[in-house]
Structure 1
Amino acid sequence: MVDSRTPPPEASEPSIGQLVGKLTENFSTLVRDELQLAQAQLAEKGKSFGVTGALFAVAGVFALFGLGWLLTAAMFGLATVLPDWAAALIVAGVVLLIAAIAGLAGRAALKSTPGPQTKENVMKDIEAIKAGVKS
Structure 2
Amino acid sequence: MSHSTHHHPNGTGAHSVGELVQQASEQLSTLVRQEMRLAQAELTQKGKRAGIGGGMLGGAGVVGFVALQALAAAAIAGLALVVPLWGAALIVAGALLVVAGVLALAGKKEVRRAVPPTPEQAMSSVKADVEEIKGRARR
TM-score (norm. length: structure 2): 0.50
Give the Cα separation in 2 of the matches to 1:83 and 1:65: 19
Q: RCO higher in 1 or 2 (8 Å CA, sep ≥ 6)?
A: 1
Residue 26 (structure 1) aligned with residue 27 (structure 2):
yes
Cα deviation 1:32-86 (Å, max 9, x = unaligned)? 1111111011111122223323222222211111112324555777895x89767
Shift of 1:22: 0.6
Residue 92 in structure 1 maps to residue 97 in structure 2: yes
Percent identity reads: 38
Q: Between Structure 1 and Structure 2, how many residues are aligned?
A: 95
Matches within 5 A, 1:75-114: 88-98=93-103, 100=106
The equivalent residue for 2:18 is: 17
User: 2:15 & 2:36 partners in 1: Cα distance?
Assistant: 30
What stretches of structure 1 of length at least 5 have no aligned partner? Answer: 1-7, 105-135
Q: In structure 2, what is the Cα distance between the partners aligned to 1:51 and 1:84?
A: 38
Partner of 1:50: 51
Aligned-CA RMSD value: 3.5
**Worse overlay, 61-70 or 37-46:** 61-70
Distance apart, 1:10 and its partner CA: 4.9
How far, CA to CA, are the matches of 2:55 and 2:97 in structure 1?
28
Q: Quick check: 2:76–2:92 contact (8 Å CA) kept in 1?
A: yes
SS in 2 for 1:24: helix
The residue matched to 2:12 in structure 1 has which SS? coil
Structure 2 segments unaligned to the other structure (5+ residues):
1-8, 111-139
The answer to whether the Cα contact below 8 Å between 2:76 and 2:88 also exists between their aligned partners in 1 is no
Instruction: State the secondary structure of the residue aligned to 2:13.
Output: coil
Distance, in Å, in 1 between the alignment partners of 2:64 and 2:32 is 46
